[in-house]
Amino acid sequence: MLRWFVKRGFWDLLAWGKFKACKPLNIPLPPTTRAVIEPKPMIEAIPEVPLRNVMVCARANIPRDERAPLNTLAYRVQVWLYTACSPMQPGLPEIDADPQVALKRAFTGLRRSLFRAPELPAEYLGSPDLGSLAVRGPFACYTTRVDDATWEWDLRMLDDYEHHPGLMKIGSRVLFRVDPLQHSLQASRIECALGAIAPTDPGWEQACKIALCAASTYLSLVRHFNWVHLAGGAQLATATRNRLSANHPLCRLLWPYTYATFQSNDIVTRGQMVRGGDFETIFSLTFEGMCRLFDDSYLAYPHLVNDPAADGTARGVRGAGFDTPTQDNLEALFDVMHRFVCNYLEIYYPRNAATGASAVHGDAEVLAWLEELNKRVPNGVGVTPNDVTWDKLARLLAGQLYLVTVQHEILGSCMWDYQLWTHRQPARVYEDFRREPLDVYQRLVNANYNLNVHRRALMDDFTRIALDYRAKAAMLQFQSELAALQAAMDSHPGAVWRLYPRELKVNINA
């Protein structure tokens, strides 16, 4: 145990140092000359992570204006330390049975001086309320209609990927039914390694742990890192740099939301995805299982998730007869972004009042940007140079802003208030249902802690990037509407599940 206390202290200090050293990024004007970025399969760019379907920017091709040599060096040292002084130590005892005690021991000292302790969601106060989690918080994204009476979370595919020895397979499916009196969903059955379990069965608590472990794992690995960082954000940055000139209106619009994406993705990928990295050592899947999951789910990326109204309609949750607070929250955030994009586009591509036509169709750079987006993003973005309209372009652009701000927040930093309560939502499910060992839990805490480093806020002044006074006015109006939405939310009691404008960051740069 002495060895563990020394090792834990070292990695805790490193996590604190990274958090303290990270400062909000200053976003410069886009450079007038930029080298073309040609993404490569990850196995060629980062041989330590042998993914063949996932396309990334090689370190040598990271744009000069993004390069941060000190950050790159720091992460090289960190990855080297995974072997020289691993944060993992086999044979350690379980964390304390009291979740507050376990958290206090794992998150203490200097780290608490820089960031708050996580808040326990109401859904975890007693037996996990899966019905509430189906409509409130980050897991609401899974809720999908089966038929008029049934909704589900379907994560059975996780069973297809190799799990660590001694762990239970976490592939699972949760079925929900509507309570018409309370306008809510109620979990009615969980299908998992334990069988088909009903709420009255003795194995319900264990089945809930399997289902929540699956939801947490898939959200962190696939929906957050693979879909937001790699399939979505990186490809948006590639198309923007490759196809839009420095003084193009869309380049200036998107620049704060894409800047430093390549540098960030490169260092974070190495820290989390290499052997001995965060993903392999925290979650249920082996390195090989994780790599297969990333390769498969990258090709399945649905860009529709970045339009909450369209996504909610596709999943059948809008107007379904039960309350959908997170869906409403996300649509409100998207609507502010959509109005901003519409105001901005109207400046440079005014629509003809009679026909609705605009200069969008005659802008070769916009059409080339759309062509590249559809080439880079798995399964495309739903708008092509052949069918683009002003309205489609506006909604697509709003979705790009939503991707790197709202999606990144709810799937990443927001997990601080969910993922650390492993008595309800375990990082791994052991065959004997014992609790996580000290090293696994400690690494989970530190990984989530560093997801909350200080970054450039969405509610900041980016008017220096605007082309002219008209664009500045649109940006200021956007900030005003975000502030108004924040004030409206503040008029209600605070809630862990609610996403506030003030919490949003302007891009995925870590």
- Domain boundary at 175, 209, 243, which? 209
For residues 381 and 367, state if they share a domain. Answer: yes
For residues 138 and 112, state if they share a domain. Answer: no
97 inside domain? yes
CA dihedral 69, 74, 78, 81 (to 10 degrees): 100
Strand partners, 178: 185
Which residues, in sequence order, are CB contacts of 229 under 8 Å at separation 6+? 265, 268, 269, 508
Q: Which amino acid, 176?
A: F
For residues 39 and 88, state if they share a domain. Answer: yes
List of E strands, 2-113 = 40-41, 55-56
At residue 34 the predicted structure's pLDDT band, cuts being 50, 70 and 90, is confident
216 inside domain? no
For residues 74 and 148, state if they share a domain. Answer: no
For residues 390 and 247, state if they share a domain. Answer: yes
State how many domains the chain has. Answer: 2
For residues 189 and 242, state if they share a domain. Answer: no
Q: What is the pLDDT of residues 465-499, one digit of tens each?
A: 999 999 999 999 999 999 999 999 999 999 999 99
pLDDT for the residue 356? 55
For residues 313 and 355, state if they share a domain. Answer: yes
Whether 353 has a pLDDT exceeding 70, the answer reads: no
For residues 408 and 432, state if they share a domain. Answer: yes
221 inside domain? no
What is the helix, strand, coil percentage profile of the chain, to 5?
55, 10, 40
Q: What is the pLDDT of residues 103-142, one digit of tens each?
A: 999 999 899 999 999 999 999 999 999 999 999 999 999 9
For residues 454 and 350, state if they share a domain. Answer: yes
Contact status, residue 293 vs residue 222, Cβ threshold 8 Å: yes
For residues 46 and 64, state if they share a domain. Answer: yes
pLDDT for the residue 109? 87
For residues 289 and 181, state if they share a domain. Answer: no
pLDDT for the residue 351? 86
At residue 510 the predicted structure's pLDDT band, cuts being 50, 70 and 90, is low
Query: Which residue in the block uniquely carries the two structure tokens 């309370």?
Result: 182
Percent of the chain with pLDDT over 90: 94
Instruction: Please report, for the domain that includes residue 403, its CATH number.
Output: 1.20.245.10
At residue 1 the predicted structure's pLDDT band, cuts being 50, 70 and 90, is confident
488 inside domain? yes
Q: What is the pLDDT of residues 301-327, one digit of tens each?
A: 999 999 999 999 999 999 999 999 999
205 inside domain? yes
Whether 354 has a pLDDT exceeding 90, the answer reads: no
- Domain boundary at 174, 209, 244, which? 209
Whether 155 has a pLDDT exceeding 80, the answer reads: yes
Distant-in-sequence contacts of 383-391, Cβ < 8 A, 24+ apart: 388/360, 388/361, 389/356, 389/360, 390/345, 390/349, 390/351, 390/356, 390/357, 390/358, 390/360, 391/356
Distant-in-sequence contacts of 4-11, Cβ < 8 A, 24+ apart: 4/89, 4/92, 4/438, 4/439, 7/85, 7/86, 7/87, 7/89, 8/87, 8/438, 8/442, 10/85, 11/87, 11/442, 11/443, 11/446
- Which element (helix H / strand E) includes 312? helix 308-315
pLDDT for the residue 466? 98
For residues 38 and 102, state if they share a domain. Answer: yes
The C-alpha atoms of residue 244 and residue 259 are separated, in whole angstroms, by 14
- Domain boundary at 209, 226, 258, which? 209
Task: Name the residue range of residue 184's domain.
Answer: 124-209
379 φψ region: left (φ > 0), alpha (ψ -120 to 50), beta (else): left
Strand partners, 23: none
Contact status, residue 67 vs residue 309, Cβ threshold 8 Å: no
Q: What is the pLDDT of residues 172-196, one digit of tens each?
A: 999 999 998 999 999 999 999 999 9
Q: What is the pLDDT of residues 54-103, one digit of tens each?
A: 999 999 999 999 999 998 998 899 999 998 999 999 999 999 999 999 99
pLDDT for the residue 358? 74
367 inside domain? yes
